[in-house]
Amino acid sequence: MKELPFSGVDDSFEASVDLEQDAEETTNCDDGPSDFVNQFEYGTSNRDLKLAHLNVCGLRNKIEELRCLQQLCKFEILPITETHLDKKVPDSEILIPGMKVHLTKACNNETLKFVSRSIENMKILLALIVFSLYTLRAQGQNQFATCSRKWSKIGCFRDKINPTRPLPEMLLNDRDRRSKYHQPGYRLHWGKWKESIHSLACRCAEKAKQKGYTVFGLQFYGECWSGLSAELNFNRDGQSDDCIMNLYDPVDCYQNSSQECVGKQKTNYIYRLTDNPGPQSPDVDGGFTEWSSWTECSKTCGGGEKVRERECTNPEPKGNGQPCVGDSEEAEVCNSQECSYCDKKMDVGIIIDSSSSVRRLNFEKVKAFLVQLVDKLDVDPSMTHVGVIHYNHRSFLDWGLNSEIAQNSALLEQALMKLGYKPGGTRTDRAILKATNELMKDSEGMRPGIPHVILVLTDGKTSSRSIPYPKALEKAKKLGIKVIAIGVGRAVDENELTQIAMGKSENVLKVNDFDDLVTKIKSIVKSFCDARKIQ
């Protein structure tokens, strides 16, 4: 009789089955999948085990069918060579992927079709078997043994190794699958720490008990050690605090907790086998408390953060219980609206035009605008100070930077609303000189090392008798003071505003009338905040 070769799941895999092999020498398909249990005893699914067994039996039955058929109708099943591919296939042959069937005169077309179908079915069954074997092997990689804890905790002890180890015999190694002490199907799973260490302790205790040992140690995260001399020598190298119960806080070992501990490298956590272990807390899964109230937003604008918390104490996980699932802290964005104030520390001088062209009603609008403006500044003794000058053809220092009004937002807003209107000519140059000579002065409260800003608010041209702005601004430029010019009305000369702002057009704002001032608050505050420290 000929040997039947057939192709497997790819061209590189070949198998052969002797058609004359006695079926009684193989597994009895009526006995169930017991033969497979011994090969895949760790965690394999009964369903997958049965499927694999059925596929193997189906393959064996197909081979038996062909063996019986071959006794009646002589045929050969041969692999295809490259020379066959270029030749015409005779009527006595049929090509199947990877092989051909050669018939004798005793065979007819029906035999040919049956043989072809049988071989194709065998190939499919073989592919299913290979897949089943991979599935069964994969299932046995991360198993966790469980048991009733019949040991008591002794404590954490060093292992100096030389000249001999206190616990001389390794029994199990779940950390290194290449170790000869690795038990197939059990691997240290860092993501399932409690289950892994409990599983190791269960099997370690069983191994130690079988060998007649009374103590065992868990070392290097996933190793089990013991030995004949372990009871006498486990504490030989002294106590250690290098043992852990969890990978994350709380990591410390607790003697009264049933949850297992393990030593790190060169450290044993020692257990004593006993049929009557002391009382230990039961395994309890953790639960969260209710969420706390949200904290205050970290910012009042510009996107702050508020936080709330909960604790895993309702109940607290105990023993081999599961930790709480979920986050213990939540954060949300709050006050995401754009900031319209400046919280920078600086000294500010405000120069207000009170000339006749402004008129009393518009002067009141200016004061209301300034109240809103300073409300956007962090006026405080330790933050921003605001001094004020108003002018016509003369200049008046209303209060300086070192005054109580300049450093208290409530008093400042009240004082601004009490300013009196004093019509007259327009001498903006004099107001600037008063600001640089009297307001922005060290002896009058100007602080070093912070930004200094002067805001000039005017509605028209300065008098023709005024000194040139470059001359009036010499000291301001020398002191590094930022000057912002705001012009109100159509009579304002934009070139003059640019000169007041010392040539920096980005520090110039122009509005058509006094009612439009409020719409520019955000832009003005931004200009304030862009001011830099004086070096």
321 and 405 within one domain? no
385 and 249 within one domain? no
The answer on pLDDT for 535 being more than 80 is no
Stretch 169-191: mean pLDDT: 92
Cα separation, 346 vs 446, whole angstroms: 9
Q: How far is CA 126 from CA 10, 66, 123, in A?
A: 11, 16, 5
Q: Which residue has the tokens 């949850």?
A: 259
The answer to whether position 135 is within a domain reads no
228 and 185 within one domain? yes
pLDDT at 17: 34
The answer on pLDDT for 254 being more than 70 is yes
445 and 401 within one domain? yes
Stretch 295-300: mean pLDDT: 84
pLDDT one-digit tens code per residue, 387-440: 999 999 999 999 999 999 999 999 999 999 999 999 999 999 999 999 999 999
pLDDT at 21: 37
pLDDT at 134: 60
pLDDT at 117: 72
- Which of these, 371, 375, 376, lies nearest to 416 by C-alpha position? 371
Arithmetic mean of pLDDT over the chain: 80
Stretch 263-286: mean pLDDT: 82
The answer to whether position 56 is within a domain reads no
The answer on pLDDT for 215 being more than 70 is yes
Stretch 158-183: mean pLDDT: 92
The answer on pLDDT for 9 being more than 60 is no
State the DSSP code for 202: H
The answer on pLDDT for 64 being more than 90 is no
The answer to whether position 246 is within a domain reads yes
The answer on pLDDT for 103 being more than 70 is no
pLDDT band, very low/low/confident/very high, at 358 (cuts 50, 70, 90): confident
Residue with the bigger pLDDT between 281 and 1: it is 281
The answer on pLDDT for 38 being more than 90 is no
pLDDT at 177: 85
Other C-beta atoms lying within 10 Å of the C-beta of residue 215: 23
pLDDT band, very low/low/confident/very high, at 129 (cuts 50, 70, 90): low
476 and 372 within one domain? yes
> What sign for the dihedral angle of Cα 256, 261, 263, 269?
positive
The answer on pLDDT for 131 being more than 90 is no
Question: What's the predicted TM-score (pTM) here?
Answer: 0.40
DSSP string, 10-40: STT-EEEEETT--GGGS--GGG-THHHHHHS
Percent of the chain at pLDDT exceeding 70: 71
Instruction: Specify which residues 308 forms β-bridges with.
Output: 330
311 and 429 within one domain? no
pLDDT band, very low/low/confident/very high, at 357 (cuts 50, 70, 90): confident
The answer to whether position 178 is within a domain reads yes
- Boundary (domain end) residue, out of 249, 273, 297: 273
335 and 372 within one domain? no
Residue with the bigger pLDDT between 84 and 334: it is 334
376 and 425 within one domain? yes
3-state secondary structure 440-454: CCHHHCCCCCCCEEE
363 and 488 within one domain? yes
501 and 383 within one domain? yes
pLDDT at 303: 82
Stretch 39-54: mean pLDDT: 52
Query: Cβ distance 403 to 386 under 8 Å?
Result: no
pLDDT band, very low/low/confident/very high, at 308 (cuts 50, 70, 90): very high
The answer to whether position 207 is within a domain reads yes
Where in the sequence is the domain holding 218, given as residue range(s)? 151-273
The answer to whether position 25 is within a domain reads no
The answer to whether position 399 is within a domain reads yes
The answer to whether position 92 is within a domain reads no
- Which of these, 214, 217, 218, 206, lies nearest to 231 by C-alpha position? 214
- Boundary (domain end) residue, out of 295, 312, 339: 339
pLDDT at 265: 93
176 and 155 within one domain? yes
Query: Cβ distance 267 to 222 under 8 Å?
Result: no
Number of domains into which the chain is organized: 3
- Which of these, 252, 246, 188, lies nearest to 222 by C-alpha position? 188
Query: Cβ distance 229 to 121 under 8 Å?
Result: no
503 and 367 within one domain? yes
| CATH code assigned at 285 | 2.20.100.10
- Boundary (domain end) residue, out of 250, 273, 296: 273
Cα separation, 412 vs 408, whole angstroms: 6
The answer on pLDDT for 39 being more than 50 is no
State the DSSP code for 150: -
| CATH code assigned at 475 | 3.40.50.410
Instruction: State residue 269 phi and psi, 5-degree precision.
Output: -100, 120
